[in-house]
Amino acid sequence: MHKILIIEDDASIAQILKQQLESWGNEVHCVKDFQHVIKAFTDFDPHLVLVDIILPFYNGYYWCSEIRKISNVPVVFLSSADDNMNIVMAMNMGGDDFISKPFDTNVLTAKLQAMLRRTYDMSGKIPVLEHKGAILNLNDTTLTYQGQRLDLTRNDFRILQTLMEQKGKVVSRDTLMMKLWEIDSYVEENTLTVNITRLRKKLSSIGLDHFIQTKIGTGYIIE
């Protein structure tokens, strides 16, 4: 079952969408307070967002850009303003698709279900890496451990992803530096050390002490 958040100020359209999507086995929540959309998003923690462009207070572009600051979940725009400029703007602000009003509810639902299947695996589970109870979410770049959730920076995520994919094996400093900066030009080695040190402090804050081990002269390992 997937969770879908609807950000649509036309109550009748929102209710039609809710009923249709729920009939396909999804859990659906419609935003009611259009001043605090991000709170509704974080509270519900959806797998997909369906958002209108024209909304009270702030438009759909604004809310999409705010969501993109904290999550990579699919965002689908739904609007009658379907000229090329609005479609391009929607994509540039982080949208994944644009569906024009009026729409056929069955076609819309089929498109959303296909997007959910592409984004998540066929069982509906979120792609993750797991080690000793620590779960790295590959979609929203977070780490959870014993009910605690840690938001990761780009470098935090790449370090953990690389080490967890190679758990039990030593990963060289050169490999990590290429994963982080993806360039051949020289990067001060101390920069990697600083990144590792900061990440270790974050991991310790949720009880993951000594999660990343140093192998002197070779690199790092998650054992």
**What digits encode the pLDDT tens for the residues 130-178?**
888 888 888 888 888 887 888 888 888 889 999 999 989 999 988 888 8
**Phi/psi-derived region of residue 145, left when phi > 0, alpha when psi is between -120 and 50, beta in every other case:** beta
pLDDT band at 124 (very low <50, low <70, confident <90, very high): very low
- Sheet of 142-145: strand order equals 128-131, 134-137, 142-145, 148-151
pLDDT(186) > 80: no
The DSSP symbol for 24 reads T
Q: Where are the beta strands (DSSP E) in 72-223?
A: 75-79, 97-100, 128-131, 134-137, 142-145, 148-151, 171-172, 213-215, 219-221
- What is the structure's pLDDT at 163? 93
Q: Is 143 helix (H, G, I), strand (E, B) or coil?
A: strand
Cα–Cα distance between 174 and 48 in angstroms, integer? Answer: 37
Sorted by where each starts, the structural domains of the chain and their CATH numbers stand as: 3-119 (3.40.50.2300), 128-221 (1.10.10.10)
**Rounded Cα gap, residues 179 and 130, in angstroms:** 20
Question: Coil, strand or helix: which one is 26?
Answer: coil
Percent of the chain with pLDDT over 90: 21
What type of residue sits at position 176?
Answer: L
Angle in degrees, CA 75, 76, 80, rounded to 5: 145
Distance, CA of 109 to CA of 54 (rounded, Å): 21
Among positive and negative, which fits the CA dihedral 38, 39, 42, 45? negative
Summarised one tens digit per residue, pLDDT across range 36-65 is: 899 999 888 889 999 888 888 888 888 888
